[in-house]
Structure 1
Amino acid sequence: MAIAIDEQLHLATEIDSVCMVLFDRWCERRSVVPLAYLMYTWPIVRATLPLIERLSSTLRDLVIFHFDTLDVEEHQMIRNVIEMAEHVSYAILNFRRHSA
């Protein structure tokens, strides 16, 4: 079970790093809409399942509703965050199942 917790912490750190890059890029460009979406759910103080899922959902909404405000690299970074969030969710749910 320690592996799942270590993986969760590693992925949460990676998610935070990618979000920081997105934040810096959007601040530089003064991209208010993407910043508003990101800042609605980030930074995540404590990597809990509901908060990580909310971040993932919010970034999905950003891509769906404001696709053209993002460049190719930002789309890729967002996809990476969503994938990592899904892995964290899986690790947490799997840990809960095995520890119950």
Structure 2
Amino acid sequence: MEKTLFTTENLPQGLVVKDVFGMIQVTGAVEVSNKGMMRGLFERKKNEYQEVIESFVNSAPDETNAILGVQVSTSSQQFRNGTFLYITYIGTPAIIEGQ
């Protein structure tokens, strides 16, 4: 089921919360350093940012159709094998419906 992400505290007019579930949190790493030519060729269709957000959305229960209060936090760290951006998504899965 497709899910809508809301970062606002209030839902748009006409929508109400029918049920909420426990908070979910997902952290993913995205390499932001130069990957070199060979790795760049093999991974050119890979979108690490999209993979992190898809992992977040997929961690919500299947019956939910929204994630409320989505917050994003980032940090970065440099290692020998590259520089990585760590992205954390937090939110509350819910079932919403029109009034």
Tell me which structure has the larger Cα radius of gyration. 2
For the superposition of Structure 1 and Structure 2, which TM-score range results when normalised by the shorter chain?
under 0.3
TM score, norm. by length of structure 2: 0.26
TM score, norm. by length of structure 1: 0.26
Q: Going by fraction, where is strand more abundant, 1 or 2?
A: 2
Higher relative contact order, structure no. (Cα contacts within 8 Å, ≥ 6 residues apart):
2
Q: Going by fraction, where is helix more abundant, 1 or 2?
A: 1
